[in-house]
Amino acid sequence: MVTSVDRDDLADGGAEHFAQTIRAIRARAPLTTIEVLTPDFLRKEGALEVVVAAKPDVFNHNLETVPSKYLTVRPGARYFHSLRLLQRVKELDAEILHQIRHHGRPRRDPQRSAAIDGRPALGRRRFPHLGQYLQPTAKHHPVTHFVTPDEFESLCDARRREGLPARFRDAR
């Protein structure tokens, strides 16, 4: 997976770096599946188009939380901008698989379930990827519940029953 921190210091938000990296991987290992996890490119006109034109196989974006908590959890980001970013990927290239990377406990919170499962506008090629947020510093949003490996496995089982891809990733 190709990822980066937000590069608001760059005019294109780092989009050209993503594109160059994708092209370099394709040149050296053409059979490699390339998955990118990008920032939201907020106020970076044309940045998304640069990344999509480089043809990653999978385009990921962190949605993080539900709309009502977005300003608290991600003060510099906007929920509906992130959602629109993924819709725009679909419009630009319908062949790119796109994923929402959502951190939280969706099955226990109906609002979170809607946030990751109820987005028909993104189409059938969108598969939510569940992850776990670990508070990087005391200034970041606190962890209110640690999801155990057994709970993760239960979520994966539920996804498998629904015919969705499921994989457990231990982030330790």
- Domain assignment of residue 62, yes or no: yes
The average pLDDT across 149-169 equals: 70
The average pLDDT across 31-36 equals: 92
- Domain assignment of residue 125, yes or no: yes
Residue-level pLDDT at 70:
78
Instruction: Please say if the pLDDT value at position 112 is more than 70.
Output: no
Instruction: Please say if the pLDDT value at position 2 is more than 70.
Output: yes
Cβ neighbours of residue 162 closer than 8 Å, sequence gap 6 or more: none
- Domain assignment of residue 41, yes or no: yes
- Domain assignment of residue 110, yes or no: yes
Of residues 20 and 164, more confidence is placed in 20
Distance CA 147, CA 135 (A): 13
pLDDT band, residue 124 (cuts 50/70/90): very low
Choice among 14-18, 75-79, 98-102 with the minimum mean pLDDT: 98-102
Q: Give the total number of structural domains in the chain.
A: 1
Residue-level pLDDT at 100:
58
pLDDT band, residue 122 (cuts 50/70/90): low
What's the CATH code of the domain at 98? 3.80.30
Q: What count of residues does the chain have? A: 172
What mean pLDDT value characterizes the chain? 76
Of residues 22 and 62, more confidence is placed in 22
- Residue 161: CB atoms within 10 A of its CB come to 9
Residue-level pLDDT at 121:
47
- Domain assignment of residue 14, yes or no: yes
pLDDT band, residue 153 (cuts 50/70/90): confident
pLDDT digits (tens, 9 = 90+) for 41-85: 988 999 999 999 999 998 888 777 777 777 777 777 888 888 888
Of residues 22 and 96, more confidence is placed in 22
- Domain assignment of residue 166, yes or no: no
- Domain assignment of residue 100, yes or no: yes
- Domain assignment of residue 44, yes or no: yes
Domain with 104, as residue range(s), is 2-161
Taking the CA of residue 15 as centre, how many other CA atoms within 13 Å lie in the half-sphere pointing to its CB?
19
* H helices present in the chain, as ranges: 15-28, 47-53, 70-73, 79-92, 110-117, 149-161
Say what the pTM is: 0.71
Residue-level pLDDT at 165:
58
Cβ neighbours of residue 90 closer than 8 Å, sequence gap 6 or more: 96, 98, 122, 123, 125, 126
